[in-house]
Amino acid sequence: MMKRIRHYCSLLLTNAVILSAVMMVFLSGCTSSAQTPVKEVKIAVLTYDEYDTFVNSITKHMTKWCRQKEKEEGVRITIDIVGAKKSQLTQNDQARKFITEKYDVLCVNLVDRTDASGIIDKAMANDVPIIFFNREPVEEDLARWNKLYYVGAIARQSGELQAKIITDALSDPDKYSEIDVNGNGTIQYVILEGEAGHQDTLVRTNVCTTTVVNSGYALEKLGDEYANWDRDQAKTKMLELADRYPFQIEMVIANNDDMALGALDALKECNYPLDPFVVGINGTEDALEAIRTMKLDGSVFNDAKGQGETIMEMAYAMGMNESFPATIEFAFDKYVFTPYNIITYDNVQQYLTDEN
């Protein structure tokens, strides 16, 4: 009897040993697969300011792209977006911190496009690639390393297309006499400019006005003011201009939509007696709505979605050590430019329905 009990116990023991061995194999199998690190790409996005409508629209598309890509690929993508409150020193500190925290790629919207060297030095020393965007660094800076890129659009093209909106209107005799209110054969205009030193400010301003003049139309500039891309600042500046030229302003050329909308705010507020022809650039949501309701005469579509997605495709590829998608077209191996397009009442519907 004792023998049988001992035999029974030893059987139980053997089974328990086998069972626990099986469990261990099973569990260790589970643990090892659970411990396989999920591939993670860490992307830092540094903007010059957190209140810029167009730049915020680019970053919105970046985040959206990452969430979608995560679902498709099962790769964890960390995207951290910080604004620099228009201070290059703050942005340099932010870049240093992300590099120390081992982010794979920096996407930088420089505060001062002539002052990229601080960030580039640190990135090169730590082998962290940089994709600059929207605010184009000077050529010599970008040439310093083969892991520096720029994604944006060609400023000259936006000036030419803004001019085309104007000349298309002026070429229609009825429209011309509507705009040239005093009938003197010259269009009196004011211009609202972005920031001094920004590639888009100088180029858009010069190219737009010279193209209109070269197309055979006489222009007379009454005033120009910087309004730093900002609707409120533009409103204030436009109120001053309206006060200075109470019956003369026939056209308002703005380097971007927020400033064009600020001009419209001012004209409405001061009950300006004329209804000037107003044009902007970007194709922001508010501008599209103002074009649809015929308050704004036109804008030039600046592809925030295309830029944001391209930047993320590049950042992701570099983070994964993959080559860039063949669909990305580079100029001089470093630059990617999205095309601009005209938006007027005639085609605004297409932009309102697109998800821009």
**193 makes contact with ligand GAL (CB under 6 A):** no
Q: According to the binding rule CB under 6 A, does residue 282 interact with ligand GAL?
A: yes
Binding of residue 132 to ligand GAL (CB under 6 A): no
Q: How far apart are CA 71 and CA 222, in angstroms?
A: 54
Q: Could you tell me how many residues make up the chain? A: 356
Site string for ligand GAL, 150-179 (x = CB under 6 A): ------------------------------
DSSP state of 328: P
Per-residue interface string for the shown chain with ligand GAL, residues 195-224, x marking contact by CB under 6 A: ---x-x------------------------
* 259 in Cβ contact with 230 (< 8 Å): yes
Q: Which is nearer to ligand GAL, 308 or 319 (CB)?
A: 308
To the nearest whole angstrom, how small is the minimum distance from the Cβ of residue 127 to ligand GAL?
Answer: 28
By CB under 6 A, what part of segment 287-306 binds ligand GAL? 302
Q: What span, in angstroms and rounded, lies between the C-alpha atoms of 355 and 4? A: 79
- Residue 286, C-beta contacts closer than 8 angstroms, at least 6 positions apart: 53, 257, 258, 261
User: Does 46 engage in binding with ligand GAL (CB under 6 A)?
Assistant: no
Nearer to ligand GAL, 152 or 319 (CB): 152
Please say whether the beta carbons of 129 and 147 come within 8 A.
Answer: yes
Task: Read off φ and ψ for residue 36, nearest 5 degrees.
Answer: -55, 115
Of 91-99, 122-130, 194-202, 317-325, the segment contacting ligand GAL by CB under 6 A is 194-202
Query: Cβ of residue 255: shortest distance to ligand GAL, in angstroms?
Result: 7
**In angstroms, what is the minimal distance from the CB of 48 to ligand GAL?**
6
Say how far apart CA 191 and CA 270 lie, in whole Å: 18
Nearer of residues 158 and 248 to ligand GAL, judged by Cβ: 158
Name the one residue in this structure whose structure tokens are 């939509």.
257
Distance in angstroms (rounded) separating the CA atoms of residues 286 and 293: 11
Q: Answer whether 287's CB lies under 8 Å from 257's CB.
A: yes
Residue 52 touches ligand GAL, criterion: CB under 6 A:
yes
Rounded to the nearest whole angstrom, what is the least distance from the CB of residue 302 to ligand GAL in the complex?
Answer: 5
* Site for ligand GAL contains 135 (CB under 6 A): yes
Nearer residue to ligand GAL within complex by CB, 116 or 179: 116
Integer Cα distance of 199 and 302 in angstroms: 15
Residues 6+ apart with CB under 8 A from 293: none
- How many residues line the site for ligand GAL (CB under 6 A)? 13
- Cβ 325 to ligand GAL shortest distance, Å: 24
| Cα angle for residues 201, 238, 162 (degrees, 5° grid) | 40
Residues at the contact surface with ligand GAL, assessed by CB under 6 A: 52, 54-55, 134-135, 194, 198, 200, 229, 256, 281-282, 302
